[in-house]
């Protein structure tokens, strides 16, 4: 546990990396949202009916907006899908540098030339890993759904709020299944960083060997790093609602926007925090090319 919290310090040391990944995500999202803003502003700005949206998430405005312009929904969904694919490809490029950094145990500041060089070297390997993971997710998701539905049958006589609790429990089980897949992905990516000379099959084997005995530990670590994020997210949500209510108008909206961005920034930090711990642990088991050179002692006659 103490080890875990020690890695928060690394998060602060690598703040440039943190900011880099946050801004990448934010810029991609802003590019996607600008056309949405321009379209909706054209519809909402002159209408008095839309004013309800300033003080709370008035669904009647949102419903009027989308039911009146139903044709724009598929356009937005396709745009989001395209942006998600582009972002995923960019991330496969950046994963080379990111996993190099976390497994090598390099200290701050980030040496960006090395970072990007590693990005280029491992790009194809990360694309391969992503394609394989895509296949795994395609299999896991329906299989997981089937499993949680079987759980649902067990709770068939529940009513009311207990059903809601059961639903959250089922979601939790599904999340664990998907998280396990993501830990597997992390393990292979880390193996590719430690053993760049090895083939895809060998890298998968090294990753799988590391992943199997540590699944529960990694799950525990992930939950530990995720809880503070959840707290921040909850606090941000609450503060955002308060800010809009108390500071009516533009100031409230700006404060809410900043709070939302804090939430997005924290989410990036959470994953980096987890990865710092994970990278160190992986290195201790599979140092690969990061094995410290043995000191050569001069032989005395």
Which 58-117 residues touch other proteins, going by CB under 8 A? 58-68, 70, 80, 83-84, 87-88, 90-91, 95, 98
Q: Residue 193: count other Cβ atoms within 10 Å of its Cβ.
A: 31
**Residue 272 makes contact with other proteins by CB under 8 A:** yes
**Residue 183 makes contact with other proteins by CB under 8 A:** no
Of 3-11, 204-212, 267-275, 289-297, the window that binds other proteins (rule: CB under 8 A) is 267-275
**Residue 267 makes contact with other proteins by CB under 8 A:** yes
**Shorter beta-carbon distance to other proteins: residue 18 or 210:** 18
**Shorter beta-carbon distance to other proteins: residue 260 or 290:** 260
| Cβ burial, residue 231 (10 Å; 0-12/13-18/19+) | exposed
**Residue 154 makes contact with other proteins by CB under 8 A:** no
236 close to 262: Cβ distance less than 8 angstroms: yes
**Residue 8 makes contact with other proteins by CB under 8 A:** no
278 close to 179: Cβ distance less than 8 angstroms: no
Question: Which structure tokens are listed for 52?
Answer: 């309800």
d(CA 256, CA 241): 8
Given 56, 78, 223, 289, the residue binding other proteins (CB under 8 A):
56
**Residue count, binding to other proteins (CB under 8 A):** 75
Least distance in angstroms from the C-beta of 162 to other proteins? 7
| Distances 107 to 9, 11, 165, 166, 213 between C-alpha atoms, Å | 11, 11, 44, 45, 28
Which residues inside 112-141 make contact with other proteins, applying CB under 8 A? none
d(CA 100, CA 67): 48
Of 113-121, 143-151, 215-223, 269-277, the window that binds other proteins (rule: CB under 8 A) is 269-277
**Residue 263 makes contact with other proteins by CB under 8 A:** yes
Given 7, 10, 14, 40, the residue binding other proteins (CB under 8 A):
40
Given 107, 162, 217, 285, the residue binding other proteins (CB under 8 A):
162
d(CA 50, CA 52): 5
d(CA 54, CA 44): 11
Which residues inside 188-227 make contact with other proteins, applying CB under 8 A? none
End-to-end CA distance of the chain: 49
């Amino acid at each position: 546990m103490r080890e875990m919290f020690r890695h928060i310090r690394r998060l602060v040391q690598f703040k440039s990396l943190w900011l880099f990944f946050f801004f990448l995500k934010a810029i991609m999202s802003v590019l996607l949202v600008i056309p949405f803003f321009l379209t909706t502003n054209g519809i909402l700005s002159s209408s008095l009916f839309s004013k309800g949206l300033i003080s709370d998430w008035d669904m009647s405005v949102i419903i009027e907006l989308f039911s009146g312009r139903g044709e724009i929904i598929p356009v937005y969904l396709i745009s989001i899908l395209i942006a998600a694919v582009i972002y995923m490809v960019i991330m496969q490029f950046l994963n080379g540098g990111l996993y190099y950094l976390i497994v090598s145990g390099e200290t701050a500041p980030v040496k960006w030339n090395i970072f990007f060089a590693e990005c280029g070297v491992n790009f194809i390997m990360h694309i391969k890993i992503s394609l394989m993971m895509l296949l795994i997710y395609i299999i896991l998701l329906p299989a997981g759904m089937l499993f949680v539905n079987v759980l649902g049958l067990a709770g068939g006589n529940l009513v009311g709020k207990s059903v809601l609790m059961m639903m959250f429990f089922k979601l939790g089980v599904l999340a664990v299944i998907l998280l396990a897949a993501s830990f597997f992905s992390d393990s292979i990516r880390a193996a590719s960083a430690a053993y760049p000379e090895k083939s895809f099959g060998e890298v998968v084997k090294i990753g799988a060997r590391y992943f199997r005995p540590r699944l529960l530990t990694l799950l525990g670590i992930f939950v530990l790093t995720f809880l503070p994020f959840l707290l921040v997210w909850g606090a941000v949500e609450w503060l955002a609602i308060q800010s809009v209510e108390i500071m009516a108008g533009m100031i409230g909206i700006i404060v809410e926007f900043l709070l939302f961005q804090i939430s997005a920034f924290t989410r990036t930090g959470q994953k980096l925090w987890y990865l710092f711990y994970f990278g160190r642990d992986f290195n201790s088991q599979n140092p690969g090319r990061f094995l410290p050179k043995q000191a050569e002692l001069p032989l005395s006659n």
